[in-house]
Amino acid sequence: MSDKKEHLTFKENKLVFKRSVKMINQVAPHYLFRIIIGNGLSYIETFVGIYLSALIIDGIIGGKDLKSLVLSAVVCVGIEFVLNIFKHYAGFRHFNEYKGNFSFKVTKPIAQKVMTMDFTRVENADTHIAFEKARSACTDDNVGLPRVKDLIVNAFIGFALIIVGTIMISPVLFSKPTQTEGFVGFVQSYWGVVAVVAFIILISIFDNQVIRKKQMSFYGKLWGTGKVNQQKRLYDFYDNHVLFHYQNGKDIRIFNQQKLLSQEFDKCGNTLAEEYNRCFKGLIPYDIISYCVNSLPQIALYSFMIIRAATGMCSPGEVISTVLYFSELLTGIKYVSSSISEMPVSLKFCKYIFDFLDIPDEKYKGTIPTEKRDDNEYEFEFKHVYFKYPDSENYVLKDVNLKWRIGEKMALVGKNGCGKSTLVKLLCRLYDPTEGEITLNGIDIRKYKYEEYMALFSVVFQDSKLFSFSLAENVAADTEYDAERVESCVRRAGLSERLDTMENGIETCLYKDFDDKGVEISGGEMQKLCLARAIYKGSPFIVLDEPTAALDPISEHDIYTKFNGIVGTRTAIYISHRLSSCRFCDEITVMENGRIAERGSHDELLSKGGVYTELWTAQAEYYKDTAGELYALN
């Protein structure tokens, strides 16, 4: 995914082109065909208009009767009307629909890749840069996939214009000369035709292959730099997730963050503006040269045809029609030439898309199905597990050995950074151990089918997220759900009173991003809904990462007193900083510096006078007045 390689080989271009066409057809079926047909009919309409207009002009000059002239005009308008109707039906009927959805649909595979790729990749900064490049290549009209789409259409239309234009001008250009000597004789001769046509074509090719290619290189340098993509990521972040995210409004006002955010936003925008200006300043000389060069064919052609008309070789109508036909022919040459010159640049950007989509999943995904046991007899074991994050030399977990069975309730406690959450991510296969192995019923978990293994777990992370969908869709994590089951899970999670106040019940939309009648929920309510989602999934293994961190003491007490009923016979790992909240668990595992320091019940650990006792004593002052009351019912 490096930008060091300036050009793709012919074989690489061919492969990227095939994949680009396939992707376009997948996201917008028949789009290329319809737009080619629609544009083709537009140019046929133009050629018909030119031809009939030339007949009318020559008829007026030649003194034809009014009836014939009016009939010619009616025929001209009628043919154009029929072509226009057919064009919109056959070519452009779904054009706006395809065009409007193209950017959205073409970025969908990128989004799907993000949601399914190895989790360790998602956290990698290089992946973020690769994602931004791929997304830009999907949406930018100047380079990448949208431009490839346009260039394909232009190439087809260009070839058609060259063929039709050549056919239409040939009778006039190759008519019999009236003179054979001197400069006028040369203009009237076949060699004169060849000379002017060659001059015009060479000028057009020079403009597209030299000037236009130079212009495209500026766009390539602009979008190919990591600096621009990084700043664009920042700009989009401020735009979409900070400044215009209404949930941030409270903090921005309370802490008077307007100046800070505005300065950061401006800094990012100014950096992008500087890069854009540098690009466009470099383009100005080439734009001027291109304009001057493109004037030369018009001057040459008009001069050529005026001389021929003045010597009686063609009529005034033929002069106008030939110039117009030749303009369309030149347009065809430009389309074909620009497609040839620009395609390699755009394909290089398309490669960013496929480079991102082709990022390999390094995580081994086995083939063994997980056992569907009616007795839920599952046993997990960590065997000498070590783990360090990619690009890090420090181990987060060191020689972890741990075993538990379904139905057990285990608390995982320790200071911040001791490895509690990392251990859970390894268990859920968001990460794989650097050394050692984790087994399920004696088999390395890497050997199980990944999707089936993941189905064993319901996890409520401390930073779990809900989306601006209905409450039911958030809980079921699906658009199709069992309404009674959703409501039951919500009430079991402790949200009965809140649910009863919602006008649309479980159909109520969360937040107001897309629904004015959506409801705002507190952090505690969000965690309860995440718990309801974990209950709804019905997995035999449930992990609760600080599930009551945002709850008030009464709600926390309510959750704990109902905890066994909520979890049922499933295994539960409960991660917490509040040691008092772990007393309902069968066993408490204490972690320190990435290792398991102690294991046992609350009373057993206190009697040892070790790490747990130290933590308990440090926290006791905060909950000594409520701890006994809080857990008296357990």
The DSSP code sequence of 272-295 is HHHHHHHHHHHHHHHHHHHHHHHH
pLDDT score for 1: 42
CA distance 410 to 43: 74
Task: State phi, psi for 131 to the nearest 5 degrees.
Answer: -65, -45
Contact between 586 and 410 (Cβ < 8 Å) = yes
pLDDT given for residue 240 in this prediction: 63
Q: What does the alpha-carbon distance between residue 364 and residue 453 come to, in Å, rounded to a whole number?
A: 13
Those residues whose C-beta lies under 8 Å from the C-beta of residue 230, and which sit 6 or more positions away, are 129, 132
CA-CA distances (angstroms) from residue 432 to 55, 362, 453? 78, 10, 13
3-state SS, residue 404 = strand
Q: Full-prediction pTM beyond 0.75?
A: no
pLDDT given for residue 6 in this prediction: 59
Which is it for strands 587-592 and 595-600: parallel, antiparallel or unpaired?
A: antiparallel
Structure tokens at 348: 């290089």
What sign results for the dihedral spanned by CA atoms 84, 86, 91, 97?
positive
Q: Please list, in sequence order, all residues whose beta carbon lies within 8 angstroms of the beta carbon of residue 466, skipping any fewer than 6 positions away.
A: 474, 510, 521, 526, 529, 530
DSSP 369: P
Average pLDDT over all residues of the chain: 80
**Count of Cβ atoms closer than 10 Å to residue 83 Cβ:** 17
Both structure tokens of 531: 């718990």
Whether the Cβ atoms of residue 40 and residue 161 lie closer than 8 Å to each other: no
From residue 22, alpha-carbon distances to 31, 91, 209, 587 in Å are 12, 20, 27, 56
Query: What's the burial of 153, exposed, middle or buried (CB within 10 Å: 0-12/13-18/19+)?
Result: buried
Which residues, in sequence order, are bridge partners of residue 403?
A: 381
Is the domain spanning 379-465+539-630 CATH 3.40.50.300? The answer is: yes
Instruction: Please state, in angstroms and rounded to a whole number, the distance separating the CA atoms of residues 258 and 273.
Output: 22
Place of tokens 């030939």: 322
pLDDT digits (tens, 9 = 90+) for 503-524: 889 999 998 877 788 888 887 7
Q: pLDDT for 465-510, tens place per residue?
A: 888 889 999 999 888 899 999 999 999 888 888 899 998 899 999 9
Percentage of the chain lying above the pLDDT 90 cut: 12
Alpha helices per DSSP H over 358-403: none
The four Cα atoms 70, 71, 72, 74 give a dihedral, to 10 degrees, of 90
CB within 8 Å of 476: residues ≥ 6 apart? 482, 486, 533, 536
Query: Is the distance from CB of 431 to CB of 119 less than 8 angstroms?
Result: yes
The domain made up of 10-30+94-357 has a fold known as ABC transporter transmembrane region fold (1.20.1560)
3-state secondary structure at position 513: coil
Per-residue pLDDT at 223: 57
Name the token pair of 91: 């070519």
State how far the Cα of 584 lies from the Cα of 606, in Å rounded to an integer. Answer: 15
In the chain, what is the straight-line distance between the N-terminal and C-terminal CA atoms, in Å? 57
| Helix-strand-coil split of the chain, %, nearest 5 | 65, 10, 25
Cα dist from 130 to 104, 141, 354, whole Å: 18, 19, 10
Look at the block and give the residue holding tokens 């398309």.
350
Q: Phi/psi class of residue 505: alpha, beta or left (left: φ > 0; alpha: ψ in -120 to 50)? A: left
Buried b (16+ CB within 10 A) or exposed e, 501-532: ebeeebebbbbeeeeeebbebeebbbbbbbbb
Q: Residue 197: count other Cβ atoms within 10 Å of its Cβ.
A: 19
3-state SS assignment for residue 443: strand
Report the C-alpha gap between 17 and 351 in whole angstroms.
9
Output the CA–CA distances (angstroms, integers) from residue 250 to 245, 246, 257, in the order listed. 11, 8, 10
Please provide the size of the chain in residues: 634
CA dihedral 247, 239, 127, 359 (to 10 degrees): 100
H-state helical runs in 63-175:
66-86, 95-116, 119-122, 125-139, 145-173
Rounded CA-CA distance 266/271 in Å is 8
State the Cα–Cα distance between residues 441 and 199, nearest whole angstrom. Answer: 80
User: What pLDDT, on the 0 to 100 scale, is given for residue 245?
Assistant: 61
Cβ atoms of 382 and 403 within 8 Å: the answer is yes
Output the CA–CA distances (angstroms, integers) from residue 70 to 49, 84, 189, 477, in the order listed. 15, 21, 36, 68
* Separation CA 625–CA 434 (nearest Å): 44
Domains of the chain, residue spans? 10-30+94-357, 379-465+539-630, 467-520
54: amino acid identity, one letter: A
Four-CA torsion 115, 120, 122, 126, nearest 10 degrees: -140
- C-alpha distances out from residue 84 to 74, 92, 325, 415, 513, Å: 15, 10, 20, 74, 42
The phi, psi pair for 410, rounded to 5°, reads: -120, 135
Residues of the chain with pLDDT under 50: 1-4, 625-634
Helix (H) or strand (E) holding 260: helix 258-310
In the chain, how many H helices and how many E strands?
Answer: 25, 10
